[in-house]
Amino acid sequence: MKKKIAALTIENDLLVDLTFHNVPASLLSEFARKIVSPYYRGNLNAAMQDLLSKALKEEDFVLSRVTHVRNFAEV
């Protein structure tokens, strides 16, 4: 596992094509209409990158809070 993490940190600029399966067209259409068009000037790629980045930051924040609360409760 450590080798894979090291490889990923070295290849920060590696671009990967991404395919989604079984995503309703209505969901993608609504995302494009409500988010991509007004905030990203129609750039779906930038919107998806931002969405993924924000989701990861939020996950890190939540995990740090859970760990903090768990450590506080143990004291």
Domain locations in the chain as residue ranges: 14-74
Model pTM greater than 0.95? no
The 10s digit of each residue's pLDDT in 7-66 is 555 566 778 888 989 999 999 999 999 999 999 999 999 999 999 999 999 999 888 887
CA distance linking residue 47 with residue 41, whole number of Å: 9
CA distance linking residue 6 with residue 38, whole number of Å: 37
